[in-house]
Amino acid sequence: MNILLTGGAGYIGSHAAVALIEAGHGVVCFDNFANSKPDVAVQVEQIAGAAPVMVEGDIRDRAALDRVFADHAIDAVIHFAGLKAVGESVALPLDYYESNVWGTACLLQAMKQAGVRKLVFSSSATVYGAPQYLPLDEAHPRSATNPYGRTKLIVEHMLEDLAASDPDWRIAILRYFNPVGAHASGLIGEDPNGLPNNLMPFVTRVASGRLPQLSVFGDDYETADGTGVRDYIHVVDLAQGHLAALDRIGADERALSVWNLGTGNGHSVLDLVRTFEAVNGVAVPYKIAPRRPGDVASCYAGPELARAELGWEAQRDLAEMCSSAWAFEKLVAIRNG
């Protein structure tokens, strides 16, 4: 198949591009490079043996989207493009509604016009809001606690309405838990601009000395060691989940399906820090800091539905997430001189 990856130059998109090319698919990445660089195509080619086609463009630009569908025989779309920083979404909500909601509506209109009706959408465990029970299964009630989460929830509703309006659509909503780590080559990974918001990129920068110290946000949660528990999932496993979802919707009767992509295992902040130190032989100095507003004690997936319906299951453990993240950080440090 020929797959269009919106946001394909980004962290998860570049790993999905590798997995798709390795599986024999053609890949076209459509990205405005707001949070990525076009030369990731070189690294993807180094790993996968073929480069994705890179098209610079914005999902809010309907004419640019129409051109991509006219220029390439696209069979399916994986929609990664969007903004994803929770704190920034509180400060700049309109940017988030414009990119994530309006941008997705533009993409869906372009797909409809081009007659492409297979879509995999990057949603997030954030749509579950504060967990009412654990593990979180796909039937858990949804809510949003910040503008970013609301944009994901609105798009989920938009996709439900679209699927109800036309049974020819084949849509997969994938709710990611906490993607971390990097490709085993160390060539692609997560290198956010500015101060990282998320735990793993912060840890790698502390370990390499780019940042002095990690702040552990709270040690008085109701968890085994008092620090927050999350379902970290290796980004390469996550990428494989997209292939499984594409295969499944190709053969599915349903117009819309929803799957969690998580491991089902919860790890605390201190589990992650200690594992990172042990597998990589480096120190991660940290201090205990106040809780981060909006954080919950524990959040982890029920991965059974994905296992049963996609035949997909995460394979890589926390040690592999930590070692690959560190290998990538070391190459970034060399590249940055």
Q: Which does 199 bind (CB under 5 to 8 A by kind): ligand NAD, ligand UD1, none?
A: ligand UD1
Mention every residue, 6+ apart, whose C-beta is less than 8 A from residue 337. Answer: none
Q: Which does 36 bind (CB under 5 to 8 A by kind): ligand NAD, ligand UD1, none?
A: ligand NAD
Give the whole-angstrom CA distance, residue 95 versus residue 101: 10
Q: Which is nearer to ligand UD1, 15 or 117 (CB)?
A: 15
CB atoms near residue 337 (< 10 Å): 4
Stretch that binds ligand UD1, among 18-26, 114-122, 214-222, 239-247 (CB under 6 A): 214-222
Stretch that binds ligand UD1, among 10-18, 54-62, 290-298, 303-311 (CB under 6 A): 290-298
Beta bridge partners of 217: 289
Check 11, 148, 221, 232 and give the catalytic one: 148
Q: Which is nearer to ligand NAD, 195 or 251 (CB)?
A: 195
Identified binder of ligand UD1 from the candidate list 48, 78, 188, 199, rule CB under 6 A: 199
Give the whole-angstrom CA distance, residue 297 versus residue 197: 17
Is there a catalytic annotation at residue 133? no
Q: Which is nearer to ligand UD1, 28 or 89 (CB)?
A: 89
Give the whole-angstrom CA distance, residue 9 versus residue 6: 8
Query: The dihedral of CA 147, 97, 53, 122: what is its sign?
Result: positive
Please say whether the beta carbons of 171 and 162 come within 8 A.
yes
Q: Are strands 286-289 and 214-217 parallel, antiparallel or unpaired?
A: parallel
* 230 touches ligand UD1 (CB under 6 A): yes
Binding region for ligand UD1 (CB under 6 A): 86, 124-126, 148, 178, 197-199, 202, 214-217, 228, 230, 269, 292, 294-295
Catalytic annotation, residues: 148
